[in-house]
Every structure is written in C-alpha cells, then in structure tokens.
Amino acid sequence: MSYRSTERTRHKKDAKRTAMMQAAVRVFADKGYHSATIRDIVAAADVAVGTFYFYFPDKETLFVYLFEETAEFMLQTLRQAITGRATLPKQIAAAIQAYVNIGLYEPAVVYLLSVGGVGAVPALVGRREEFREGLVNLWQTPLDQAMDKGQIIPQNTRLSAEALTGAFDEVILNLLAQPVAESQAPGVVHDLTQLALRAIGYTGT
C-alpha cells in the first residue's frame, strides 16, 4: 500500500512540474524574460508559489532549463524529419514542415528559442550559441551529402547552412504573426523549400 501511495505522490508531483514548465514557456514567450514574474508562472500553471521553489531556486534557473529542454526538442524533431527522408528536396521539405508544425501548435517554443531571453540571461549565451550551432550542423549535413553526390553545385556548405537557418527562422516567425497562419502554412512550406533548393543550386541529378 505504501508503494502505491508513493507512486501516486510521484505522479502528482510530475504533473505539477510539467504544468508549471508548460505555463512558463508561454509566459516567457508572451511577456519576455524581464517582465515575467514567478507569480505569473504559478498563476498560469495553477500551482502554489512554494511548488515553484520546490523545483527551481529562481526564475533564471528555470528559464535556462526551459531553453535547454525546448532546444533539444526542436533539434531532435528536425533531425528525425531529415533522417527519415531519402532525397534532399524531401529532407528540406520535411524539416521545414516539422518546424512549421511546432510553430503552429506550440508557438511559444519557437518564440522562446528565437527571441526569448536575448541579452537578458548571461548564463544563456553559451547555450544559445550551442543551439544555433546545432541548427547549422543539422542543415549542413544533408548539404554535404548532396554535394558529395553531385546533386548541388560546389559551395561553402557551412555558409549555405547558416543562411538557410536564418532564412527559415525569419519566414516562420513572420508566418506565426499572421492571423491566418494555419491556412498559409502549406504555401509557405512549399515556397520556402523551393527557395532553399534554388539557393543551394540543387540539380536533381
């Protein structure tokens, strides 16, 4: 009986922690790091202030942890989209679609990773650089493979990957700002894929 009680308690704590973190992502994305308060977060999560301090010592620690978690989620999702496709056009289209889907259904994640905490949290500087490097590497890998096969024109794939990373971020952020983003998403995925293929000189051979 005591084991069952312990399990119930653990699941209840896990649920509170998950609710608090999900609420924190939305609060930080909506208000920004400086304006968001711990009371905002616990109110959005419908938990007590004491629950926050049970898991995190302060707002900065929570923010850094959230950034790390969402960054890993984003990278893993895009990586799976790419590795699950056989051709470069399908790899690019699938990854862009995955990125757009995250933006449509969890826009706070995209805002948090793109603009949240910029210049606000010194401890986040290195982690942001690691995340951006991860994105660039994610796009560079299929470009390197395609160039080895003669499918794209010879180029500096690192520079191309950096340019694609910035372009995808900008276009998807602009899409999410539209009142009818969901209906515009298919066209954006298609156009952005074609833009990327033209930019890297895809030959299709």
pLDDT at 188: 96
Q: Domain 1-56 has what CATH class?
A: mainly alpha
Q: Domain 59-199 has what CATH class?
A: mainly alpha
pLDDT at 128: 87
Is the separation of the CB atoms in 123 and 105 below 8 Å?
no
pLDDT at 123: 75
On the question of a common fold for 1-56 and 59-199, the answer reads no
Is the separation of the CB atoms in 125 and 64 below 8 Å?
no
Token pair recorded at residue 10 = 């653990």
Is the separation of the CB atoms in 11 and 2 below 8 Å?
no
Q: Where are the domains of the chain?
A: 1-56, 59-199
Q: What is the mean pLDDT of each run of 10 residues along the chain (205 residues)?
A: 49 75 87 88 90 90 89 94 93 96 90 71 83 95 95 96 95 93 96 96 85
Token pair recorded at residue 122 = 């010194």
Q: Which residue has the tokens 């999410």?
A: 176
pLDDT at 21: 87
DSSP 56: -
d(CA 72, CA 27): 20
pLDDT at 11: 53
Token pair recorded at residue 107 = 């826009």
Instruction: List 152's β-bridge partners, or say none.
Output: 202
Is the separation of the CB atoms in 90 and 6 below 8 Å?
no
pLDDT at 3: 43
Helix axes 107-114, 157-176, angle to 10 degrees: 130
Token pair recorded at residue 3 = 């084991």
pLDDT at 5: 47
d(CA 97, CA 78): 9
